[in-house]
Amino acid sequence: MNRFFKAMAAAVSVAALTVSGFAPSFSAVQTSTALTAHAVDDTGDDWLHAKGSRLYDMNGNEVWLTGANWFGFNCTECVPHYLWSGDIDDMVKDIADHGVNVLRLPVSTELLYNWMIGDPDPIASVNPNDDPNYPINVDLINPDGSVANSQQTFDVLLAKCKKYGIKCFIDIHSPESNNSGHNYGIWYGKSFEGRDGKTVEVTTDVWIETLAWCADHYKNDDTLIGFDLKNEPHSTYGGAPVDAIWDDSDAPNNWKKAAEDCADAILAKNPNALILIEGVEGFEGHGAWWGGNLRGVAKYPVTPKAGTSQIVYSPHDYGPIVSDQPWFHKDFTEETLLDDYWRDTWAYLVEKDMYPLLIGEWGGRLDGGDNEKWLGLLRDYMIKNHINHTFWCLNDDSGDTGGLWKDIQFGVTTGADGTIQAQTTINWDMEKYETYYYPAIWKTQTTKKFIGLDHQVALGKDGISLNDFYANYASSEGSNLDGGSTSTGKPVEAETSKPTESNTPSEPKTDLVTGDVNADGTFDLTDLVLLQKWMLATPNTKLPQWKAADIYEDDKIDIYDLSLLKRELVK
């Protein structure tokens, strides 16, 4: 049904992916290098599961996912947009400081396929002249001076999210890397040119294989908590040969069956991952937004072999600026929206306490009229009914919605002692943020502390961890859920992380040289390469002297130790 068309941003030109206006040279910059290993899980205690229409942590404490989308990995640039004008550490910190506790990260099957075969795509430039001495995104420059590839960039992003208390899940936004790939309605049937020059067809099997590989590869990192299997399954409008359908058949375009098979493959690799399943466009004569129609769940629920404890349904919903709909052609209220569209399409799943919902996309431009009225009504309904959500979107280059950011600028100054001071300035659309997004962020009721989903790491500078909330706030002031009622909960005890069996380090020696992981008496590039291989779980890789890499002396080795060792090597 063409009237449900939702356009996104046009392709961003590669020419725009540079910082213009100045290109000074610096001599006193402390350099860093790309963190090629994905973040090592500290405790593995942050996985979530569903019961009824709520999500819970491992101790049965309720959680609320209130996040935002950051697209770009799905596009031809193969990198989150605006890293060309902002530093990744500054940006993730700022996201956390604004209370975003989860990021939905659109990717493509093509991107995951190239990761799976060990030949990740290059990324668009995120540093003028890719200069390791230029103080922007130095974490994305490798030891040899090359720019991090797309998977290395993703790993750095995960590590930054872990550092600042943010969780993530990926969304298969399109079969091939394409800035407008969301227009194509199904998960198979497109092709792309592989890194080896051969044409690769995205079949259902390839789509499942890449997601299962990804689940297996990141199964020890609870920063990546789930997988949104396919963005907005819909009709032939965007060029797909058939409509996505929802029934109990074995038809290749049956989204219900495809989602079930894919969930089985993912959960076989990581039984703790959340599986987010969007709706379709049409079901038994009833239309909806692309990805919004979950009427079929009542008759044909997705039931993986492992059960439904990891299933979250994820419709999208938009206002009249994105595409006008009949239910907006009146003095609409929450009740009329429920009667005309929301209840039978997706809201019944929460009202009947059947399954959790996460509104994967909602947002839009401010018009002083019906679009803002709709934004406020959906915001309030999600708060009252404990519906998880990820706002579309952070970056403002989404053509029909804009973003929470207005612009991002990077500046540098040179101090009297010759040192470089660098800062990313992120200008938020404060009216949109404060009026429509901020009220729907999970926070304590009285002191307004942002509540993260990590048990140990606080969310940003003014936020708290999940343990802190349940130990010190839940029973006294509660949160902005359920009318501000208080609750009790049991904090999760942290345990010292344990290396995987295949990566168990040998006993350390007593006389240590910092960084000397290969125990040859000196610290040099060979030690750094060995440590990176160990953190990437390269088979048959062991650390003869792993304590030499434990800079923080906390009995674990993580990405922060690796980063410090790299800085020590280049200093």
Q: 221 in a domain, yes or no?
A: yes
Is 174 found in the same domain as 73?
A: yes
Specify whether 550 is located in the same domain as 437. no
Specify if 452 maps to a domain.
no
Could you tell me if 133 and 279 lie in one domain?
A: yes
- 99 pLDDT above the threshold of 60: yes
Residue 473 lies in a domain: no
In a domain, 48, yes or no: no
Q: CA dist 55 to 288, 313, 358, 467, 513, Å?
A: 26, 12, 10, 16, 46
285 Rama class: left (phi>0) / alpha (psi -120 to 50) / beta: left
Q: How far apart are CA 221 and CA 156, in angstroms?
A: 13
Look up tokens 């091939």; give the residue. Answer: 176
pTM of the predicted model, to two decimals? 0.83
Return the SS3 of 193. Answer: strand
The CATH number assigned to the domain holding 212 equals: 3.20.20.80
**Domain count within the chain:** 2
Where is the domain boundary, 441, 457, 492?
441
Say what the alpha-carbon torsion angle 105, 110, 113, 117 is, to the nearest 10 degrees: -120
> pLDDT digits over 328-337, tens only?
999 999 999 9
Three-state DSSP at 162 gives helix
pLDDT for 31 equals 34
Domain co-membership, 212 together with 115: yes
- In terms of domains, do 374 and 244 share one? yes
Q: How far is CA 529 from the centre of its chain?
A: 28
Mean pLDDT score, 44-73? 97
The answer to whether residues 186 and 274 belong to one domain is: yes
Q: Are residues 560 and 429 in the same domain?
A: no
291 and 418 housed in the same domain: yes
Instruction: Assess whether 534 and 394 both reside in one domain.
Output: no
Q: 10 Å Cβ neighbour count for 434? A: 11
Whether residue 40 lies inside any domain: the answer is no
Supply φ then ψ for residue 452, to 5 degrees: -90, 175
Q: Using CA atoms, how far apart are residues 359 and 115, in angstroms rounded to an integer?
A: 28
> Is 470 inside a domain boundary?
no
The pLDDT value given to residue 571 = 55
Q: Is the pLDDT of residue 473 over 70?
A: yes
Coil vs helix vs strand at 548: helix
CATH number at residue 536: 1.10.1330.10
Contact call for residues 120 and 150 (beta carbons, < 8 A): yes
- Residue 206 resides in a domain: yes
What pLDDT score does 507 carry? 36
Q: Kindly state whether residues 271 and 185 are assigned to the same domain.
A: yes
Domain residues for 537?
501-570
Tell me which of 17-31, 98-112, 189-203, 285-299 is least confident. Answer: 17-31
Active site amino acids: 232, 361
Mind listing the pLDDT tens digit for each residue in 496-544? 333 333 333 333 334 668 888 887 777 877 777 778 766 665 545 677 7
**What is the C-alpha separation between 280 and 278, in angstroms, rounded?**
7
Of 409, 441, 473, which one is at a domain's C-terminal end?
441
Query: 391 and 529 share a domain?
Result: no
- Which of 398, 413, 441 is the C-terminal boundary of a domain? 441
Q: Which of 13-17, 37-41, 218-222, 528-532 has the highest mean pLDDT?
A: 218-222
**Residue 481: phi, psi to the nearest 5?**
-105, 155
Within 13 A of 174's CA, how many CA atoms are on the CB side? 23
E-assigned strand segments in 64-115: 66-69, 102-108
Same domain, 202 and 298: yes
32 pLDDT above the threshold of 60: no
Strand partners, 258: none
Tell whether 450 is covered by a domain.
Answer: no
